[in-house]
Amino acid sequence: MRKGLHVAVAGATGAVGKEMVKVLEERNFPVNELKLLASQRSIGLTMPFRGEELPIELLTEKAFSGIDLGLFSPGAAVSKEFAPIAAQQGCVVVDNTSAFRMNPDVPLVVPEVNAHAIAHYTNKGIIANPNCSTIQMAVVLKPIHDAARVLRVVVSTYQSVSGTGKEAIDELEAQTISIMNCRPVTKKVYPHQIAFNCLPHIDVFLDNGYTKEEMKMVNETKKIMEDPSIRITATTVRVPVFYSHSESVNIETERKLTVDQVRDILSKSPGVRVVDDPSTNTYPLAIDAAGQDETLVGRIRDDESITCGINLWIVADNLRKGAALNAVQIAEILAEKYL
């Protein structure tokens, strides 16, 4: 690798982009120059990086000249337009949106699961970062799949509002304050009040009755695990939590695994931390996962309704492992091996 990379963060002022800049600094990523890109709305603002205030610049076709690496989270429509333009100029893009994830020429990567797929970045100059709920499930499923072959997964999610972005974080806070002060609630981001409520609706509804978020979990998991035979069904729910997504995951395997075997496998798995001691009320919590890098897993128990089944409770910080951290981990491998 050269002395340091010229890096651009597209969508730098967003919930994911801000975390991206933080993670680059925390992990001492080899940055020579950092360019922060966003919309016209953010021109005139600055963001801190390594003790300096960097200006926000406009995301345009010309922004990527001389840039080696682009970390993108400006939304799927903007990524669809600008990621190929950046790639054409030699900027390798790690894209956090759903724009390219299911494109067969674009690798979809969770480093703990399929780091080898990064090599295919040369096809389009783009690597896709999976959906946040998918990432945290995949890091746990993979070692179980390797040990006993996963046949079927039934997952229900409890996703925090930060997954929607900065406006949704503000909306949950404002609605909570309004309700506690007996004032009327206003809603803009979600179709219903999110404070003190659960919405079984993330992203748009599709013709099959599922939401797009649910089908992302189904299709992306098969692609990352490189096994289209795994049967998966998902229900994704937005809950009034600020940070971290939680998931109840039921797994049916081909070969029987005992609870002790699962605990042993997961305690040795990269990126996973077992948090599981019912006798002391110890299990993964959204507020404990927030700000952490590891995916927490607990409530490990036998599914007594079938012969080879396990139930898990999986929690991770959706802005870190679910987005920025996973993207920077991919970038670290790119920087070390390929750029």
Residues of span 144-183 touching ligand NAP by CB under 6 A: 163, 165-167
- Find the shortest distance in angstroms from Cβ 277 to ligand 3JM: 29
Asked if 198 is an active-site residue, the reply is no
- Using CA atoms, how far residue 226 sits from 71, 107, 166, 215, in Å, is 24, 11, 33, 16
**74/258 Cα distance (integer angstroms):** 43
Binding residue (CB under 6 A) for ligand NAP from 17, 30, 125, 309: 17
**209/236 Cα distance (integer angstroms):** 12
Residues of span 87-106 touching ligand 3JM by CB under 6 A: 97-98
DSSP result, 43-75: TT-EEEETTEEEEEEE--GGGGTT-SEEEE-S-
Residues of span 71-90 touching ligand NAP by CB under 6 A: 73-76, 78
Asked if 132 is an active-site residue, the reply is yes
Binding residue (CB under 6 A) for ligand NAP from 34, 70, 129, 309: 129
Binding residue (CB under 6 A) for ligand 3JM from 145, 216, 273, 321: 216
- Find the shortest distance in angstroms from Cβ 65 to ligand NAP: 17
Establish if 163 lies at the interface with ligand 3JM (CB under 6 A).
Answer: yes
| Residue 38 interacts with which of ligand 3JM, ligand NAP, none, CB < 5 to 8 Å by class | ligand NAP
Three-state DSSP state, 42: helix
Other Cβ atoms closer than 10 A to 255: 10
Binding residue (CB under 6 A) for ligand NAP from 323, 328, 331, 334: 323
**Burial class, 80, CB count within 10 angstroms (exposed 0-12 / middle 13-18 / buried 19+):** middle
Establish if 234 lies at the interface with ligand NAP (CB under 6 A).
Answer: no
Three-state DSSP state, 142: helix
| Residue 16 interacts with which of ligand 3JM, ligand NAP, none, CB < 5 to 8 Å by class | ligand NAP
**316/323 Cα distance (integer angstroms):** 11
**107/125 Cα distance (integer angstroms):** 10
Catalytic residue (one of 6, 91, 132, 145): 132
Residues of span 57-86 touching ligand 3JM by CB under 6 A: 76
Strands of the chain, DSSP E: 5-10, 31-38, 46-49, 52-58, 69-72, 92-95, 126-128, 150-159, 231-238, 245-253, 272-274, 295-302, 309-316
Alpha helices in 64-190 (DSSP H): 76-88, 111-114, 132-148, 166-180
Of 179 and 189, the one with the shorter C-beta distance to ligand NAP is: 189
Binding residue (CB under 6 A) for ligand NAP from 30, 54, 97, 313: 97
Establish if 221 lies at the interface with ligand 3JM (CB under 6 A).
Answer: no
Site string for ligand NAP, 21-60 (x = CB under 6 A): -----------------xx-xx----------------x-
Of 5 and 132, the one with the shorter C-beta distance to ligand 3JM is: 132
| Residue 39 interacts with which of ligand NAP, ligand 3JM, none, CB < 5 to 8 Å by class | ligand NAP
Do the beta carbons of residue 174 and residue 186 sit within 8 Å? Answer: yes
**Catalytic center residues:** 132, 245
